[in-house]
């Protein structure tokens, strides 16, 4: 495994999904979103999808063992050999160690962790707006604020762990999509990562 291996971290509503698609295209690497993988399996009613659907219906997080297996399987696919962008994984310190194990087995490691920050009130209004547009009735302000609190509680230790390895670049996620992309591309350049020529 060679190439650029990015991890996007940021609170729900910070624009990770949007940036993941743009960055994957810019750096010519697949965007791997555990959320997308799970949703696709649920929609196609695969064996994994049925398991995940039952867990999500109960309002629980998909357990690490299942998430790790899905990621490991996806990273072993041929298109991920030349690099990848992870969005939504790892979420816990246990998952960080599991990802380390997977990558070490392939003789590689992450290149950079991009931390996208966003003001909480701005994120809440973004998510409430998205809930209205997409008809997500379960995305109330109380639920959104709970998810943000959970993110802070679970993800802060990950950021500290990666910062200790000097892998983190922090980018402001507020503003126009193109502006945020430009900030990320500039931040990656400081780590020696340039987009391949078109």
List, by residue number, the catalytic residues: 16, 91, 130, 136, 147
Alpha helices in 44-84 (DSSP H): 47-57, 64-75
In angstroms, how far is the first alpha carbon of the chain from the final one?
A: 22
What are 5's strand-pairing partners?
84
Task: Please check whether residue 115 is in contact with residue 9, taking contact to mean a CB–CB distance below 8 angstroms.
Answer: yes
- Specify the residue for token string 């064996």: 47
Residue 97 CB contacts under 8 Å (≥ 6 apart), including other chains: none
């Amino acid at each position: 495994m060679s190439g650029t291996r990015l991890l996007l971290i940021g609170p729900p509503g910070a624009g990770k999904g949007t940036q993941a698609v743009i960055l994957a295209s810019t750096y010519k690497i697949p965007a791997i979103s555990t959320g997308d993988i799970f949703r696709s399996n649920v929609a196609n009613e695969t064996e994994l999808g049925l398991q995940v659907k039952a867990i999500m219906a109960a309002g629980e997080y998909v357990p690490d063992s299942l998430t790790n297996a899905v990621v490991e399987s996806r990273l072993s696919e041929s298109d991920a050999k030349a690099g990848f962008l992870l969005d939504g994984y790892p979420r816990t310190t246990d998952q960080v160690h599991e990802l380390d194990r997977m990558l070490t087995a392939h003789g590689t490691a992450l290149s950079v962790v991009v931390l996208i920050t966003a003001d909480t009130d701005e994120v809440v209004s973004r998510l409430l707006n998205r809930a209205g547009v997409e008809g997500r009735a379960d995305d109330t302000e109380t639920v959104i604020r709970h998810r943000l609190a959970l993110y802070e509680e679970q993800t802060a230790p990950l950021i500290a762990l990666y910062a200790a390895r000097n892998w983190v670049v922090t980018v402001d996620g507020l503003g126009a999509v193109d502006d945020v992309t430009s900030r990320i591309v500039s931040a990656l350049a400081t780590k020696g990562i340039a987009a391949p020529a078109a």
